[in-house]
Amino acid sequence: MEYTYEIAVVGAGAAGCAAAIYAGRSGASVAVFDKGMGGGLTLEAPKIENYPGFKSIGGVELAEKMKEHAAEYAEMKYGEEVKELKVTENGVEVITNRGKYFVGAVILCTGAEHRKLGVKGEKEFAGKGISYCATCDGFFFKGKKVAVVGGGNSAVIEAIYLKQIGCDVSVIHRRDELRAEKALEEEAKEKGIQFIWNSVVEEIIGKEMVEGVKIKNVKTGEEKILEVSGVFISIGEEPQNQLAKQIGLKLDENGYIIVDDMGRTSMERIFAAGDVTGGVRQIITACAEGAKAALAAMKAIGKRSPY
């Protein structure tokens, strides 16, 4: 059977765009499927200052540049969700909400989504004071008291961003030291962000909208209510591994797709790159992984590749 496209990339975030650029430039016909408008978690970064070539760039701008670049070499299929993959000896059937395609290899760049706290009030107040993205929603909380939950780089960056737009910010972290880089911690402290240590959120409370969080000190057992209008939950990510599970790819104990250093998975014709494979989860590493997976995938479609 003839391929509709030689390579299908699933996900138009950093890894997917890089994979499309490298596969397209290596001579493959490529389609990139994304259930939304692409961009991935890059879209949510208020400011990116560690991507070489750009001293400082907004996430939305960088994601747009990557998508435009990928579109030079691949057909970008936005709003088209891959529902199912069927791996055969000769290729992979890609079944989407719009149609069926037969391809030589698939590169899964499906990324990760925000981890949920799983406490009372989190679902009820979604969009009513609870957010997972300061860049997207921070503006609505200008001049108000907000809490950021988490102690990683994302939580601290979001806290700094919220402070910058005029929020009164407290970071609630379950331990007494941050996971975030020291430089970020120092910047946050200099800017007057308060830290509530050794504390977990037990409930998010309010009537129509969020009015506060009930927190408990895990060392003393003391419970209190912190009055806030907004809660920004930034406690890490979960891999979007539904397709990987559906075809039976090997995953690690946290659900990330196991890959070798060229993005090869436990199945021939299936490759993976970016946050769905875990690792250091940076934009630059996602790009590098996408590039390598694309080069490795060339062999699966019967083309010469040095990798």
Binding site for ligand NAP (CB under 6 A): 50, 115, 117, 149-155, 157, 174-175, 179, 234-237, 280-282
Closest distance of CB 142 from ligand NAP, Å:
23
Closest distance of CB 62 from ligand NAP, Å:
12
Closest distance of CB 184 from ligand NAP, Å:
8
Helices (H), the chain: 14-25, 59-71, 134-137, 153-164, 182-190, 242-247, 283-300
C-alpha to C-alpha distance for 17 and 274, rounded to whole angstroms: 11
Q: Which residues are catalytic?
A: 133, 136-137
Collapse the DSSP code of 247 into the 3-class scheme (helix H, G, I; strand E, B; otherwise coil) and give the result.
Answer: helix
Q: Which C-beta is closer to ligand NAP: that of 235 or that of 272?
A: 235
Contact criterion met (CB below 8 Å) for 71 and 31: no
Token match 């009513």: residue?
A: 128
C-alpha to C-alpha distance for 241 and 109, rounded to whole angstroms: 10
C-alpha to C-alpha distance for 28 and 36, rounded to whole angstroms: 24
Q: Which C-beta is closer to ligand NAP: that of 155 or that of 160?
A: 155
Contact criterion met (CB below 8 Å) for 77 and 33: yes
Q: Which two tokens stand for residue 25?
A: 């430039």
Closest listed residue to residue 70, CA positions, set 20, 29, 25, 27 = 20
- In a 13 Å sphere around the CA of 64, the CA atoms on its Cβ side amount to 5
Q: Which C-beta is closer to ligand NAP: that of 236 or that of 255?
A: 236
Nearest residue to ligand NAP on Cβ basis: 152
Q: Which two tokens stand for residue 55?
A: 């001293």
Closest distance of CB 42 from ligand NAP, Å:
10
* Residue 259, H or E segment: none
Closest distance of CB 230 from ligand NAP, Å:
17
C-alpha to C-alpha distance for 97 and 204, rounded to whole angstroms: 36
Closest distance of CB 240 from ligand NAP, Å:
14
